[in-house]
Amino acid sequence: MDFLNKDRLVKWRAVQPKDVAAVTEDPVSVDPAFVELVSKRLPTLKTAAAALDFVGERAEDFKNLGRAGRLRFLAWVLAQKYSDIGVFMVALVSDTLPGEEEEGGAVAGGDGRDKIAPFFYSDILAFAEALGPRIAAQIVDAQTLDAVAGASLEVASEFEMKGRM
């Protein structure tokens, strides 16, 4: 369970494709005591809510872990197939900063998750942006993409002529 120690993170990053490695920087420093704590605590977490509480308790440590470590932690949580994973993703992976109003007028809580959620959110966005072109290339080939691009230009021209843009 030492997948968050610095050597393992560096090795993990080294085998990533260049587009992914570009957004998952090598960790500057990883606290060995935190890695040991994670190794002990993770097997005891039986729900996504428990994982969420753990992150809230150790927000500063997760922040210092860096993007590569946070992405590996997210991958671990998702691999657990928790039945309440939606709670985890909604609460932790948010771009709402501390003190900002959430949907419905509620203010983001102060349990530590609000301090780290924007970092997880940024990590996921960067990872998705790095993988986006690769995924798009697998979904459509160049010929289909050209046809869609051509059709979109025609539609845009029609909208311009009708004064809708």
Is pLDDT above 50 for 81?
yes
131-163 pLDDT, tens digit each: 888 777 777 777 777 777 777 777 777 767 666
DSSP codes joined into one string, 23-74 = TSPPPS---HHHHHHHHHHGGG--SHHHHHHHHHHTHHHHHHHHHHHHHHHH
pLDDT band for position 38 (50/70/90)?
very high
The rounded distance, in Å, linking the Cα atoms of 102 and 65 is 26
Average pLDDT over residues 116-121: 86
Is pLDDT above 50 for 106?
no
pLDDT band for position 46 (50/70/90)?
very high
For the chain, give every domain's residue range.
Answer: 6-132
> What DSSP character marks residue 165?
-
Average pLDDT over residues 59-63: 90
> What DSSP character marks residue 142?
H
